[in-house]
Structure 1
Amino acid sequence: MAQSRGEQNPFAEAGELDNPFQPSQAYEPPAPAPAQLPPPSAPSLNSSRKLSPTEPKNYGSYNTQASAAAATADLLKKQEALNRKAEELDRRERELQNVALGGASSRQNNWPPLPSFCPVQPCFFQDISMDIPQEFQKTVSTMYYLWMCSTLALFLNFLACLASFCVETRNGSGFGLSLLWVLLFTPCSFVCWYRPMYKAFRSDSSFNFFVFFFIFFVQDVFFVLQAIGIPGWGFSGWISAIVVVRINAAVAVLMLLVALLFTGIAVLGIVMLKRIHSLYRRTGASFQKAQQEFAAGVFSNPAVRTAAANAAAGAAENAFRAP
């Protein structure tokens, strides 16, 4: 059957494609792909340049680093000041809350710490963590320990003088004075210079600061005399210990230990006096402020006001009775 014109012969197309006598087209190689260039921001590893050992590295400007360090230090100081103020406000808030909730019972005297069965009750209220600002707590605590060490030294001095009196009866006056110093200095030192210092830091009182400076200076003089140890004065200092060496070595060793303790207390007392004076100057206190506090305290005292009113009334009555 003859094939129609519209139909295609598949064998013919295959023959045309596979005809070996048909000239083939020239081979054209594919066009090369464009080279991928690295981005300008990413340097090539081969093109990196090594710094020479003598070439300085650029760490930034010195002025910029110094200003940044100064700004950081300033921020740290401000942060510490803010933390101290926050702690101080928190402490005062807790104190006010305790007073508001407990009334007068929350401020009961707690010093000296005596047992409940003792007929003598505590005479003072003392709480360094509550009453004293945090920046002064270490100073007040050191002074409290200094007072305790001085009391311990006076007691050991009494024992040393007693031992000296046992081996040498001519030291009876020193033994008697050592007993007097224990009974006199122990309470008086606490009341006369420790409590004014405590109240000065608690309420920033210029008057109490002046009282403390005057009395503690006299106390430092006595500390030095105790360390020297003049024979017959009731102090087991260096001179008294050297004198007793020829009589009894054991008693002399005890007196030397007391003399060493007196020396340490004297040195620490002078150092603390200078430190508290520097703190006092930074608080803005002055002699005029101390005078104002003294006058306000005197006139606010009910006994003083009553005495002044009675004196004024008596003076006015005498003036009217005069002819």
Structure 2
Amino acid sequence: MTELTQNPFASTHSLDANPFDDPPTQSSSSFSTTKDTRLEQLSQRERDLERREQELNTKAEHIRTHGRNNWPFIFPLIYHSISEEIPEASRPLITRLYQLWLVLLGTLLINMVACIFILLAGSSDGGKDLGGSIGYIFLIGPLSFLLWYRPIYNAYMKEQSLYYYLYFFFGGFHLLFSVYMIIGIPSTGSAGLIQTIQMYSRHAIVAAILGTVATVGWTVQGVGNAFYFRQIWQHHTAAGHSMEKAKGELASHGAKAYFTRG
């Protein structure tokens, strides 16, 4: 019988180390380096978060004070957003007023082109009409926005009496101007009714058609503004706005309130 030289209970995969010993660890210098790196990363992340928060706060403060300029879109000077700044119940009215202002701009341009053709048709006052029509574009265009549209926009946004009275004064003046342009007196820069009739009588068809379009434009924006002028007056009365409140607001906020969002 052959003698066994190996222990049958011995394992070929016996453990060389005590299983109850702690696992090997990194050296103290390596651990310290890793810890410092992580601390530096956390510190950098905190600085980034603080910087971003400061930038957001700065932007928010700028928006609150000055608004996010978005109008006109070619060269933004002011912030204009009916959906964000006007109460929901008043948005349709302000939208219609803005559309009427756009009709006014279009009418000013058509009026100028009509005056060019009136001059070409041989009108003795054609030069004066053309000069006046060009002046209206650069005068009435921006002033109508600043003096009657912007005040009523601010009035419904802020519900302050001062803006309502600014609108009533300059909006009333614009209604008179619209009637003046509808009539179309020669040499006034208007291709309105009288000028259009004269062009039809001279068989200057192009000038007559453009005059008709201009007259319709003046009438549409004039009648529309008159209709909403009455509605705004009723709203202002029902809301309890008064001249005394307007004077108090002017004394408290000054003219700068016209350009701020608050």
Same fold (TM over 0.5): yes
Residue 212 of structure 1 and its aligned partner are, at CA, apart by 0.5
Residue 105 of structure 1 and its aligned partner are, at CA, apart by 5.0
Q: Residue 234 of structure 2 corresponds to which residue in structure 1?
A: 278
Q: Which has the higher contact order (CA 8 A, sep 6+)?
A: 2
Q: Residue 166 of structure 1 corresponds to which residue in structure 2?
A: 120
Q: 1:201–1:105: structure 2 CA closer, same or farther, 3 Å change rule?
A: closer
Q: Residue 62 of structure 2 corresponds to which residue in structure 1?
A: 104
* Equivalent-residue separation in structure 2 for 1:272 and 1:100 (angstroms): 39
Contact 2:183 2:194 in 1 (8 A): yes
Q: Residue 90 of structure 2 corresponds to which residue in structure 1?
A: 136
* Partner amino acid, structure 2, of 1:207: L
* Partner amino acid, structure 1, of 2:254: V
Q: Residue 241 of structure 1 corresponds to which residue in structure 2?
A: 196
The alignment covers a number of residue pairs equal to 198
Q: Which ranges of structure 2 fall in alignment gaps of 5 or more residues?
A: 1-55, 258-262
Residue 298 of structure 1 and its aligned partner are, at CA, apart by 3.3
Residue 243 of structure 1 and its aligned partner are, at CA, apart by 1.1
Q: 1:190–1:282: structure 2 CA closer, same or farther, 3 Å change rule?
A: same
- 1:77-88 to structure 2, matched below 5 A, reads none
Q: Give the alignment partner of residue 125 of structure 1, picking from 79, 90, 96.
A: 79
Give the structure with higher Rg (CA): 1
* Equivalent-residue separation in structure 1 for 2:187 and 2:244 (angstroms): 43
* Equivalent-residue separation in structure 2 for 1:182 and 1:244 (angstroms): 22
Deviations 1:213-262 (A, max 9, x none): 00000000011111111111111111110111122123112211211221
Q: Residue 251 of structure 2 corresponds to which residue in structure 1?
A: 295
- 1:227-238 to structure 2, matched below 5 A, reads 227-238=182-193
* Equivalent-residue separation in structure 2 for 1:195 and 1:272 (angstroms): 15
Query: Which stretch of structure 1 is more off in the superposition, 269-278 or 100-109?
Result: 100-109
* Partner amino acid, structure 2, of 1:202: M
* Partner amino acid, structure 1, of 2:170: I
Q: Residue 154 of structure 1 corresponds to which residue in structure 2?
A: 108
* Equivalent-residue separation in structure 1 for 2:255 and 2:146 (angstroms): 23
Q: 1:99–1:293: structure 2 CA closer, same or farther, 3 Å change rule?
A: farther
Q: 1:300–1:156: structure 2 CA closer, same or farther, 3 Å change rule?
A: closer
Q: Which ranges of structure 1 fall in alignment gaps of 5 or more residues?
A: 1-97, 115-120, 302-323
* Partner amino acid, structure 1, of 2:134: L
* Equivalent-residue separation in structure 1 for 2:215 and 2:93 (angstroms): 25
SS in structure 2 opposite 1:232?
coil
Residue 102 of structure 1 and its aligned partner are, at CA, apart by 3.9
The percent of aligned pairs where both chains have the same amino acid is 27
* Equivalent-residue separation in structure 2 for 1:299 and 1:196 (angstroms): 12
SS in structure 2 opposite 1:122?
coil
Using structure 2 for the length normalisation, give the TM-score. Answer: 0.71
Q: 1:258–1:164: structure 2 CA closer, same or farther, 3 Å change rule?
A: same
Q: Residue 308 of structure 1 corresponds to which residue in structure 2?
A: none
Two-structure CA RMSD over aligned residues (Å): 2.1
Q: 1:269–1:163: structure 2 CA closer, same or farther, 3 Å change rule?
A: same
Q: Residue 161 of structure 2 corresponds to which residue in structure 1?
A: 206
